[in-house]
Amino acid sequence: MNPPDHLVASVDAASLAFYALRQFAPPTYMTKLATERYVSALRLVNSALADPVDSLADETLQSILLLDLYEKLVSRKRTSTESWMRHMNGAISLIRARGKGNLQTYVGRRLTQRLYTTLVISCAISGMRIPAEMERLRADLSRHFKIEDDPKWGLTTLNEQIINFTSDVQAGNISCRDQILARALDFHQSTVALEDILPSCWQPSRVFIGDNALGRQLTLAGSYDVYEGLYFVQVRNVIRTAQLKLLLMIERYAEPDDLDLIVSARVSIEKSAHAICDSFTQYVASRNEKGALAWDLASPMRQLGAYTVLFPLYLAAQASGDVRLREWAQDVLGLVADVGGLAMAQKTADALKQGATAPAWDVYIMLGSYAIAA
């Protein structure tokens, strides 16, 4: 059975937009074709939404999520909350209309989970709380997705609480210094506890580069980590980025005379930042037949792996007080851009050259990291 035309057009539009994003100078015909497929998809999705049966189909929800992805890949600047959430609000309305149908099939559950994850990211970028309706949806999903089977689901639900907390602090709804500090400490401990229950297959193997000139360029401290799968790297780095943000908040709100807490937070910041750096090298180089480290960026999957670490690497350099780490990140990203042709590696390096002063979420949007969220 062939997929509906609106889904085909939506896949085309999002795929072309993501491909163009990765180029230094995407061909004009490519961006033109992506726009044409997007306009076609919009028209076809609107027709599907007007049909009582088609409007509730899994494929229609999938198309809306893809159109949301397309817009965020094409418009890589922070816009108004209303603009950023437009397709998300449409998807939420569709979820409401689908009712129990959201969770009756495996595909339906996965699409609903994807919507929830996407919404969490969108709310984090917009600085707004997760809508109460979506919190109820998360509770329903939790009956089907268990933390022990899918640690990422545990992280997503924890991130919901952290995002709501951060939004409340930014809005002034929580202003008591002691309360902010206590909750930030609790949330950080929750991220540590989540790491502690990860299966052994999620733990990396450490590779030492020895006396290798390229290895010294591509590693921060003469070694790097190898994970069994890209998904593991993504989730571990999402945990680390959450930890960095919480630790920076702890550092900010700690009493000046609480030196033990300040030092502990700084040590943890550097630990998370170094772990992110150590997760990058495995995607840009590998051992050749002589056992020496050599460039290995030819395959699309390796380029995708490198791409997923760009935003965490920016945040690591931004949070770290280690000048050597910042300089290494900037240099290695420039090398990767030159050798592998990764346009977004160069953009990340440029952001670091400007002193890593750009807000982290602005860099996230600029990189189109929304497209490869785990």
Q: What percentage of the chain exceeds 70 in pLDDT?
A: 96
Question: How does residue 76 score in pLDDT terms, banded at 50, 70 and 90?
Answer: low
pLDDT exceeds 60 at position 199: yes
Residue bearing the bigger pLDDT, 101 or 200? 200
Give the pLDDT of residue 91: 76
CA–CA dist 132, 136 (Å, integer): 7
Q: Using alpha carbons only, how large is the chain's radius of gyration in Å?
A: 21
User: Mean pLDDT throughout 121-136?
Assistant: 84
User: Mean pLDDT throughout 127-147?
Assistant: 82
Q: Where are the beta strands (DSSP E) in 126-221?
A: 205-208
pLDDT digits (tens, 9 = 90+) for 310-327: 999 999 999 999 999 999
Residue bearing the bigger pLDDT, 166 or 74? 166
pLDDT digits (tens, 9 = 90+) for 225-253: 999 999 999 999 999 999 999 999 999 99
Helix H or strand E encompassing 267: helix 259-278
Give the pLDDT of residue 146: 72
Give the pLDDT of residue 97: 83
Give the pLDDT of residue 148: 67
Lowest mean pLDDT among 57-66, 133-142, 166-175, 272-281: 133-142
CA distances from 312 to 111, 315, 318, 343 (A): 26, 5, 10, 17
CA–CA dist 165, 161 (Å, integer): 6
Instruction: Tell me if 165 sits within 8 A of 242, measured CB to CB.
Output: no
Give the pLDDT of residue 83: 64
Q: Whole-model pTM?
A: 0.90
CA–CA dist 325, 321 (Å, integer): 8
pLDDT digits (tens, 9 = 90+) for 102-124: 788 888 888 888 888 888 888 88
Give the pLDDT of residue 81: 62
Average pLDDT over all residues of the chain: 89
CA dihedral sign, ordered 49, 53, 54, 55: positive
pLDDT digits (tens, 9 = 90+) for 297-312: 988 899 999 999 999 9
